[in-house]
Chains A and B, each alone.
Chain A
Amino acid sequence: MKSLPLLFSLAVFAADDSFVLRNVTIHPVTAASIPNATLVVTGGKIADFGPKAAVPRGARVIDGKGLHVYPGLIDSASNVGMSEVGSVRESVDIVELGDFNPQIRAIVAVNPSSDHIPVTRASGITSSLLFPGGGIIGGQAALVHLDGWTWEEMAIEKNVAMQMRMPTLAATTYTPAFGAGRRTFAETKRRYDERVKLISTFFEQARAYQKRKAAGGMAFAVDRRLEAILPVLEGRQSLMIFAAREPAVRDALAFAARENVKIVLAGVREAGQSVKDIAAQKVPVILGETLDLPLEEDSPYDSPFTLPGELHKAGVTFAFGSFSVQFARNLPFQAANAVGFGLPYEEALKAVTINAARIWGVADRIGSIEKGKWADLILTNGDPLEARSQVKQMWIQGRPVSLETRHTKLYEQYGKRP
């Protein structure tokens, strides 16, 4: 019986999700960086870390001399796993038909064996918010780990947010048959008004449904579509509203106030005067590609680069999203580019870690190196936001995750060609 504690600890530390990292610089994100430190992971969770963290007996120790540990990065808007080859329709499951589809779920269309998952991981990204597109209410977004045998195993939160797209006054059109075109202003306005009306009608219906449901009785019949929007009405689920330009941002803020729903703005590309309102209403924002062209020909050439810095100055909480499949791996560089143009470095790092976790309500589990959180970690040879750095190892919930990708395999294979 005497040897039992030892046996027990051996068993724990021999498991895949328990280990100790030594001689590393730890960047907790929520606290100052700690050089020459030790990090202890037990049962997939961070048990301890610091310059004097005790190494449990029998622990599997990994020496990380000269290397850095960061929390795994989080992509707050992505379609990785939902599309394989952009131009091959059969391989793409992002945009559904119809204007109101709150009942559809991105999680079930996530292919765990997609080649994009390891490729995205290789940049240090351990979690992604995967959103469905299309229509006005596009369906439910999922927050997933970029590892798992099935989508169930990947899921952190299966239905973390409801995706919605604000109608706009965009006059340009595109159809495969006729190419690019323009509508008249009158026609554009008519369509915009019509869509705005559709939204208020839908929410009226949903409120009526909510009342009918509460009243109960024989007459009540379940409507799957309206049922799916109830968590939004009850404030249990955020509406992730896509609004690129200022008028759409204003509309989204007004809508949130009117309907009394919790929103997250996504894909904001200009803030303008409404930035104050975003901050005042404490609405978090998921910023899109920093490496983008300005909206107008005569906008300042660096306007997409300076936007994150401007939002930070105004007191807006934000995280970065790649809004992409193939470029999801460039998320860290999107954040870095904003630093060059005014965003403090710490804020850029937060915007791909803890801020994302807070916005999606999972900061108790991921987003920083803190005791009790999941060991979603990356070991790097430098700043993970810099292209010249490399991610050397990754753990998700303490499990070592391969950094091998379709690309590294082809690299090795053809590197050996005589």
Chain B
Amino acid sequence: MRRRQFLGGLIAGPWVASAAGETLVIRNAKILTVTRGSFDGAILIRDGKIVEAGPTVNTPAAARIIDAAGQFVMPGIIDCHSHIGTEAVNEGSVSVSSMTGIEDTVNPEDIGIYRALAGGVTTANILHGSANAIGGKNVVIKMRWGKNAAEILLAGAAPGIKFALGENPKRRGGGLGAQLRYPATRMGVEDVIRDAFSEAKAYKAAWDDYNLGAARGERRIPPRRDLRLEPLVEVLEGKRFVHAHCYRADEILMLLRVADDFGFKVRTLQHVLEGYKVAKEIKEHGAGASTFSDWWSYKMEAFDAIPYNAALMHRRGVLVSLNSDSSELMRHLNQEAAKTVRYGGLSDEEALALITINPAKQLAIDDRVGSIEPGKDADLVIYDKHPLSNYAKVQRVFIDGQLYFDRDQDMSERAGKAERRKTLHEKQKPVPARRPQ
């Protein structure tokens, strides 16, 4: 805890808290809207929302002007798979941990949030880990650095839950020393999921029956509430998104078929490194795919991973995004997107969509974020060069029209912070005890 107070004292934000009703104009910029083309122009922002974006915009006299001459503005990056801002990631003691949720462990002071912000990320899907076939519930956060745990949540984002297939959930089924936990194979992973949904279906039927009776005025004892099955009932009812960690084509297909049998949709396949092999089936099911740009070979199930995965799935009509699953990779998702131009020949706009509007659609928040369009949240990143260049760096980041990251300011505060750090270190040194002579 002491560590966190230490940090909290050193880094404060947002730097510019725009009062409600403030009007902001970013002008002279090269604007990459992602959904509505690119042009030299300006963006008008009011009450945290984009009002207008075009070659010229109506600039009210009272507007604060940000001159972005020679710079590029793009929508804030959205990471569809991250574990920052949490105190805990995996509840791995059981194979179904749907009763757990990241919301209970949100840590808004995780430095990962500030660093992600400095990498142009404004929104992230914070997922449970992949230790079990059915994991815990997620949250979607905005990088509102300096705000509390409740304030960083993106209100209104659809709830979701993590699933995991392949090597990770079966890991505890083997090995030496560790207490064994079912499952040990991909067969067992399917079994765990089918078992859980069979239970959830029965549980839902019991409640439906009870509610029907209650509506008729019958007085019955309600079924016992089951916090483990409730989220799965929400999945069956289409009220909770499934974000499924997966690698190999066989396990991907398995989950799609299980979902078909139980009548729910897999919202996103996460990592989905062999997605290119079953892109047709993914498209038919209607699942989105959130993958790495070029990770491969770090484990057996990643050996057929190819950097062309995003391009191949995209060409088959799958809704594709690139994610980080890493607080480091998260800092340069723009560079990861650039790799899809190299591997698979996507256009610049298609590449940028993989880290903006596509993940927004996957999380069903595309009415709020993911592109530069009137009515959307003013979540914007200003780069000094085209964001798909490996030489580009983030200059400023706005969330809801507020400046949350400013490189110049960050740099100008460094000397002072170093000084304060030194003072704090001095204070931490133990005072030598005076001993009686």
Binding site for B on A (CB under 8 A): 84-88, 115-116, 119, 177, 291-294, 297-298, 300-302, 305, 325-326, 329-330, 333, 336-337, 339-341, 385-390, 406-408, 410-411, 414-415, 417
Contact = CB atoms under 8 A, between A and B. Distances in A.
Given A300-B414, A336-B391, A411-B344, A387 B177 contact: no
A387 B297 contact: no
Contacts of A386: 338, 389-391
Contact of B297 (A325, A341, A385, A414): A325
Contact of B299 (A87, A336, A337): A87
Given A85-B297, A411-B312, 15 more contacts: A84-B297, A85-B302, A116-B297, A291-B329, A293-B328, A298-B417, A301-B118, A326-B298, A387-B339, A387-B341, A387-B342, A388-B388, A407-B306, A410-B304, A410-B308
Contact of A87 (B295, B300, B329, B342): B300
Given A301-B410, A326-B298, A388 B338 contact: yes
A293 B115 CA distance: 9
Contact of A414 (B114, B277, B421): B277
A336 B280 CA distance: 37
B392 interface: yes
B298 A87 contact: yes
A387 B335 contact: yes
B90 interface: no
Interface in B129-157: none
Given A298-B6, A388-B342, A333 B312 contact: no
Contacts of A301: 114-115, 118, 410
Contact of B118 (A116, A119, A302, A415): A302
B299 A388 contact: no
B424 to A, nearest CB: 10
B342 A297 contact: no
A340 B389 CA distance: 9
A410 B306 CA distance: 8
Contacts, number: 117
For the complex of A and B, 5 pairs with smallest distance between CB atoms: A336-B390, A387-B338, A87-B299, A86-B298, A411-B308
A415 B277 CA distance: 9
Given A291-B332, A293-B115, A340-B391, A329 B299 contact: no
24 contacts: A84-B297, A87-B298, A87-B300, A115-B297, A292-B328, A298-B111, A301-B410, A302-B118, A329-B294, A336-B390, A337-B390, A339-B390, A339-B391, A340-B385, A340-B391, A387-B388, A406-B306, A410-B276, A410-B304, A411-B343, A414-B276, A414-B312, A415-B308, A415-B312
B327 interface: yes
A305 to B, nearest CB: 8
B280 A297 contact: no
B300 A340 contact: no
A411 B296 CA distance: 14
Most buried by B among A115, A293, A389: A293
A352 B7 CA distance: 37
A340 B393 contact: yes
Nearest to A337: B390
Contacts of A177: 177
Given A297-B7, A301-B410, A415-B312, A390 B297 contact: no
B307 interface: yes
Contacts of A292: 328
Nearest to A413: B277
Contacts of A293: 115, 327-328, 331
B206 interface: no
Nearest to B327: A293
A87 B302 CA distance: 10
Nearest to A411: B308
Contact of B303 (A85, A305, A385): A85
Contacts of A329: 294
B147 to A, nearest CB: 19
Given A293-B115, A337-B332, A407-B307, A298 B7 contact: yes
Interface string B1-30: 001001100110000000000000000000
How many chain B residues sit at the interface, stated as a range, is 35 or more
B377 to A, nearest CB: 24
Contacts of B339: 387
Interface string B299-324: 11011101110001000000000000
Contacts of A415: 308, 312
Nearest to A405: B306
Given A291-B328, A336-B391, A326 B297 contact: yes
A313 B304 CA distance: 42
Interface in B329-364: 329, 331-332, 335, 338-339, 341-344
Interface in B157-214: 167, 177
Contacts of B295: 326
B342 A86 contact: no
Contact of B3 (A297, A302, A387, A414): A297
A302 B339 CA distance: 22
B342 A390 contact: yes
B137 to A, nearest CB: 25
A364 B368 CA distance: 59
Contacts of A341: 393
Nearest to A412: B308
A325 B390 CA distance: 21
A284 B10 CA distance: 35
B355 to A, nearest CB: 13
B15 to A, nearest CB: 15
Given A407-B308, A411-B344, A298 B421 contact: yes
B7 A88 contact: no
Contacts of B338: 386-388
Interface in B264-307: 276-277, 279-280, 294-300, 302-304, 306-307
Contact of B335 (A119, A300, A337): A337
Nearest to A300: B414
Contacts of B307: 407
Contacts of A411: 276, 306, 308, 312, 343-344
A85 B299 contact: yes
Given A88-B299, A300-B414, A414-B276, A385 B327 contact: no
